[in-house]
A and B are shown apart, each in its own frame.
Chain A
């Protein structure tokens, strides 16, 4: 059986000969960095500078970490500090570096039936939505944003009820669209929000709580666990994205003249 599959692999390779010789760097990242267009803007600069081809797989942070744990990708750009620390402590990842941050915002319909407009406390915001039983869309996909939302509910000591709390299991872009269609509240990272804003009728209603801070880190998959992983490629991405050039490119990435991500690799 294995022989047959090897044969298939060989045949397939003949078919796809002439694609590329150097091993590509495989990055698993979150839908928030991809849907906002940031990765697409950075990719050509990285490939040009290092000569490495970058393969980007965008998914939720939870699944990205799982791909790293299984050695299916070389490097991760994710945003869930607690899970990342565990990932490194358990020996799955090495060389975790800060890359950039933005924040989460509460968005909802302009009519704002829950009256959260101008609220600066994330917990109070959730309480108002909870009391009013207004429709709230949850990512429900084990992503960094989903984990943040669950953390906030827990901190508020509230258990949302499914009569108004909808777990959709989709990426940030889709969740914003669904909230838009249903005139519902949701929580979004600012980057994806800015990227999709012009297509939505939702408004930012509450922001500014320290609990809504959203840091992104890059982690190489531990080469001790998978010796033939593209560790050098992973490190070249880490080096580039935390370099002056990479950080400048992140800071310069704007939509409608608004900064989506603030680089922070070099000032801490």
Chain B
């Protein structure tokens, strides 16, 4: 096997020379995960809001369910979705298996509970007077919701970034329902798995570096956002 220094050098070379195959894989990862997070955020925050402010039975049970969903392994979500989307499965007629859309749905399933759980904690910690004031002043229900969410926007942003970090780095769902198809459903993580199996460690490490840099940017941004939240309250 080639030395680690040489492999890393080769990886950096691939990244910096703008290797088109590598960067198209990176773009695909971002496009899929961005779609998923954009479609998950509004409904998940609404659910979180209603769990905080709603008055219906079973709230605690629903919360417990979402919290336990946080620890479902991605391969299990992948398997569940595969069985749903396979041709003879309940949603086989939609022909979604081995498409980018299947990956998007899988990632939505993965980050929905995360956003609900983190969103719940954030909204629950919001000053209750904000909602009461908005309601007393006669704001319509949707405006009240927006006001409360706006009040804790930094915390919610942190939740969304955490969710995004989770789905862009997952491999189980993408591999199972995406199929790792070159140029179509091959994303950063499935490509790393494949390149490793071919002994092409440089390509794998290069993609790993991209994920690492992304994680670094997200965490830096996150701590910046949290700092802002502290000063604003």
Q: Which of A167-175, A203-211, A238-246 contacts the other chain?
A: A167-175
A-B pair count, CB < 8 Å, reads 66
Find out whether the CB atom of A55 lies under 8 angstroms from the CB atom of B101.
no
Q: Does B86 contact A57, Cβ atoms closer than 8 Å?
A: no
The answer to whether A57 and B197 have CB atoms under 8 Å apart is: no
A13: B residues at CB distance < 8 A: 101
Q: Which of B50-58, B111-119, B177-185 contacts A (4 or more CB under 8 A)?
A: B177-185
Count of B interface residues, CB-CB < 8 Å = 26
Q: Is A70 an interface residue (CB 8 A)?
A: yes
Interface stretch of the complex, out of A4-12, A106-114, A127-135, A157-165: A4-12
Q: Is the CB of A16 within 8 A of B86?
A: no
Q: Are A170 and B96 closer than 8 Å at their CB atoms?
A: no
A195 with B198, Cβ < 8 A, contacts A12-B104, A56-B182 known = yes
Contact with B along A14-56 (1 / 0, CB 8 A): 0110000000101000010001000010010000000000011
Which of A16, A73, A173 touches B101 (beta carbons < 8 Å)? A16
Residues of chain B with a CB closer than 8 A to A35's CB: 197-198
A170 to B104, CA, bound (A): 26
Closest to A180 in B: B1
Contact: A173 with B199, CB < 8 Å? yes
* Chain A residues whose CB sits within 8 angstroms of the CB of B101 once the complex forms: 9, 12-13, 16
Say which residue of B88, B100, B105 sits within 8 Å of A8 (CB atoms).
Answer: B105
Q: State the main secondary structure of chain B at its contact with A.
A: loop
State how many angstroms separate the Cβ of A143 from the closest Cβ of chain B: 13
Confirm or deny: A177 has a beta carbon within 8 angstroms of a beta carbon on chain B.
yes
Closest beta carbon of chain A to B41's beta carbon, Å: 14
CB distance from B154 to the nearest CB of A (A): 28
Q: Are A55 and B184 in contact (CB under 8 A)?
A: yes
A5 and B94 contact, CB distance less than 8 A: yes
B87 adjacent to A226 (CB under 8 Å): yes
Q: Given that A57-B180, A72-B87 are contacting pairs, would A9 and B96 also be in contact in the complex, using a CB cutoff of 8 Å?
A: yes
Q: Which residues of B contact A170 (CB under 8 A)?
A: 197
Q: CB-CB < 8 A to A71: which residues of B?
A: 87-88
**Contacting pair A40 B182 (CB below 8 A):** yes
Least CB distance from B7 to A in Å reads: 11
Q: Which residues of B contact A57 (CB under 8 A)?
A: 98, 179-181
B91 is an interface residue with CB less than 8 A from chain A:
yes
Report the interface size for chain A: residues with CB under 8 A from the other chain. Answer: 36
Cβ-neighbour of B180 out of A8, A9, A58 (below 8 A)? A58
Contacts of B35 in A (CB 8 A): 12, 15
Q: How far is the CA of A19 from the CA of B35 in the complex (A)?
A: 15
CA of A110 to CA of B1, assembled, Å: 16
Query: Which residues in window 90-149 of B have CB below 8 A to A?
Result: 91, 94, 96-98, 100-101, 104-105
Say yes or no for B39: interface residue by CB 8 A criterion.
yes
Closest to A226 in B: B87
Which residue in chain B gives the minimum CB-CB distance to A53?
A: B184
**Chain A residue at smallest Cβ distance from B87:** A71
Q: Say yes or no: A72 contacts B181, CB within 8 Å.
A: no
Check B196 for interface membership: any CB of A closer than 8 A: yes
- Shortest beta-carbon distance, A138 to chain B, in Å? 16
Q: Does residue B230 face the partner (Cβ distance < 8 Å to A)?
A: no
- Which residues of chain B have C-beta atoms less than 8 A from A180's C-beta? 1
| Separation of A58 and B185 alpha carbons in the complex (Å) | 12
What is the bound-complex CA distance between A26 and B2, given in angstroms?
Answer: 35
Contacts of A146-193 to chain B: CB distance below 8 A: 170-171, 173-174, 176-177, 180
B197 touches A11 (CB 8 A): no
**How far apart are the CA atoms of A157 and B63 in the complex, in Å?**
57
Contacts of B1 in A (CB 8 A): 180, 199
Chain A residue contacts of B87, Cβ below 8 A: 70-72, 226
Check if B199 sits within 8 Å of A199, measured CB to CB: yes
Chain B positions 1 through 34: 1 when the CB is less than 8 Å from some CB of chain A, otherwise 0: 1100000000000000000000000000000000
6 pairs from A and B in contact (CB 8 Å cutoff): A9-B96, A11-B39, A31-B197, A35-B198, A57-B181, A72-B87
Residues on B close to A: CB < 8 A?
1-2, 35, 39, 86-88, 91, 94, 96-98, 100-101, 104-105, 179-182, 184-185, 196-199
A-side residues, CB < 8 A to B, are 2, 5-6, 8-9, 11-13, 15-16, 24, 26, 31, 35, 40, 43, 55-58, 70-73, 170-171, 173-174, 176-177, 180, 195-196, 199-200, 226
Q: Which 9 pairs of residues, A with B, have the shortest CB-CB distance?
A: A173-B197, A71-B87, A57-B179, A12-B101, A199-B199, A55-B181, A174-B197, A173-B198, A196-B199
Known: A11-B39, A72-B87, A195-B198. 13 other contacts (CB 8 A): A5-B94, A6-B94, A13-B101, A15-B35, A31-B197, A35-B198, A40-B182, A55-B179, A56-B181, A57-B98, A72-B98, A171-B197, A173-B197
